[in-house]
Amino acid sequence: MPFSDDCTQGTQVYMDGVSHWLCEKHEDNPIGPCLVSFYLTNEVSFTTPIPSDVDDCFDVGPEWINLVVLNGSIALISYHEETTTFRVSILGQLGFQESWIKLFMVGPLPCVERPIRVGIKGGIFFIRKDKEIAWFDLSTQMIEELGYTTENLHCRIINYKESILPFEE
């Protein structure tokens, strides 16, 4: 099972009992860039290569890549700094590299200083050049402000569902 030596925040996603992570090419992973899907119940894994004609973000580093769930499908979102564009691709079937579909390109968004994370509802969160945290709404194609300004580029965003259920101490 391929592993990643460069696990950054946002390159893993969990959906319906399956843990997915991205894996870059390295000496122990001759397959090249791929998606690894691990079924928690039976511990079976699938590997889906990510061909460079789907997204060449792995060839041009340093890159920002996020793995998210879009409408029940695994989606790969990458940011390309030189063009200030985001590329969105989705996977039709685990294990089938030909089932990747290049969905769309977002941008250019020259106001992006640094992408943070794809949040709920497919919103792409980023720090703007004016240090304001903003998000691009995929459905309305509009940029909205979160109402938070930061000089520190290391802020993180995660999707959250409030719960008061305890876990075993």
Question: Which residues would be at the binding site for another protein (CB under 8 A)?
Answer: 1, 3-5, 7-9, 12-21, 38, 40-41, 69-73, 90-93, 99, 101, 103-104, 119-122, 133, 135, 138-139, 144, 146-148, 150, 152, 154-169
Q: How far is the CB of 120 from another protein (least distance, A)?
A: 5
Nearest to 23 by CA among 41, 42, 49: 49
Cβ of residue 139: shortest distance to another protein, in angstroms?
5
Which segments of 58-118 does DSSP mark as H helices, in order? none
Comparison of 82 and 166: residue with beta carbon closer to another protein: 166
AA letter at 164: I
Looking at the Cβ atoms of 82 and 168, the one nearer to another protein is 168
Contact at 8 Å (CB) between 35 and 91?
Answer: yes
Residue 141 zone, left/alpha/beta (φ > 0; ψ -120 to 50; rest): left
Torsion of CA 150, 152, 156, 157, to 10 degrees: 10
Q: Considering beta carbons, is residue 60 or 148 the nearer one to another protein?
A: 148
The residue (of 82 and 97) whose beta carbon lies closer to another protein is 97
